[in-house]
Structure 1
Amino acid sequence: MSLSLRRGFTLIELLVVLAIMASLLTLVVPRYFQQTDKASETVLKHNLVSMRDAIDKFYADTGRYPSTLEEMVERKYLREVPVDPVSGKRDGWQVVSPEGGSGVYDVKSGATGNGSDGKPFSDY
């Protein structure tokens, strides 16, 4: 009496497993991309708060606004000009000058599009 034992998976079993995995991925992948977009917005807001705080400290110390963001790095108010996480550029920041003057009064994102709250990124 010889029993031939075959071990392995049939094609039907493999197809069922792949179908289950595909249906689970259709639920997970959209949530993943929503979370990465939300994380980029959070980092953008944090970078803007940090740069605005550095601008205020620069003004308090020198009595004038910095002429460029690079001047703030040279004078050690920032370690480096942060990357705009939405646009992916370090030089994409929109610089707002004070009324009737020159320099960096405020910084805004140069990214196009809107955030999860519907506001344009340039309004953060």
Structure 2
Amino acid sequence: MRSRITFLKRHLARGFTMIELLVALAIIALLLAIAAPKYFGGIDRARETVLRENLYSLREALDKYYTDTGRYPDKLSDLVDKHYLRQIPEDPITESRNGWVVKPPADPSMGGVFDVHSGAAGVGKDGTYYQDW
């Protein structure tokens, strides 16, 4: 019995062999190779979803402003000043609140902001440009 305990103590104190470490690292690398693309693809999809939602919120606030006042706001900050929005939403692609591209109405006397688009360069997962959303 004593020799068996001595053998176990020596074996445990010795540590891992190089082959065991390589096998463990290979398994970890394989799992990362499977999981990483799904993770980063999910982040891109989430940013695009947030961009669509922020555009929807801005456009809805513009419509409500127009319904209440009979004209469009002169600038996006008017939506915050008049409490149609708590703050200008961030464009998740450019990570900026100042990157929105403002489209004025056809009649300049109706205000300055008729529609809003993203100022981000690039193409979404659906193949359309962010600027066209």
* RMSD of equivalent CA atoms: 1.1
Q: Secondary structure of 1:4's match?
A: helix
1:13-92 aligned at under 5 Å gives the runs 13-92=20-99
In the alignment, what sits opposite 1:4?
A: 7
Structure 1 consecutive aligned stretches of length 4 or more whose deviation exceeds 3 Å: none
1:106 and 2:115 correspond? yes
Residue-by-residue CA offset, 1:26-66 (whole Å, 9 max, x unaligned): 11111111110011000000000011000000000011100
Q: Corresponding residue for 1:117? A: 126
Residues in 2 aligned to 1:123 and 1:42: alpha-carbon distance in whole angstroms: 15
Structure 1 Cα separation of the partners of residues 59 and 71 of structure 2:
14
- The structure with the greater share of residues assigned to helix is 2
Percentage identity across aligned positions? 52
| CA distance in 1 between partners of 2:74 and 2:123 (Å) | 29
Unaligned stretches of 5+ residues in structure 2: none
Range that drifts further, 80-89 or 93-102: 93-102
SS in 2 for 1:31: helix
Per the TM alignment, residue 85 of structure 1 is displaced from its structure 2 partner at its CA by 0.4
**Bigger radius of gyration, 1 or 2?**
2
Equivalent-residue separation in structure 2 for 1:4 and 1:30 (angstroms)? 45
Match of 1:97 in 2: 104
Aligned length: 124
Q: Which runs of 5+ in 1 are unaligned?
A: none
Task: Tell me how far apart the structure 2 counterparts of residues 68 and 46 of structure 1 sit (CA, whole Å).
Answer: 20
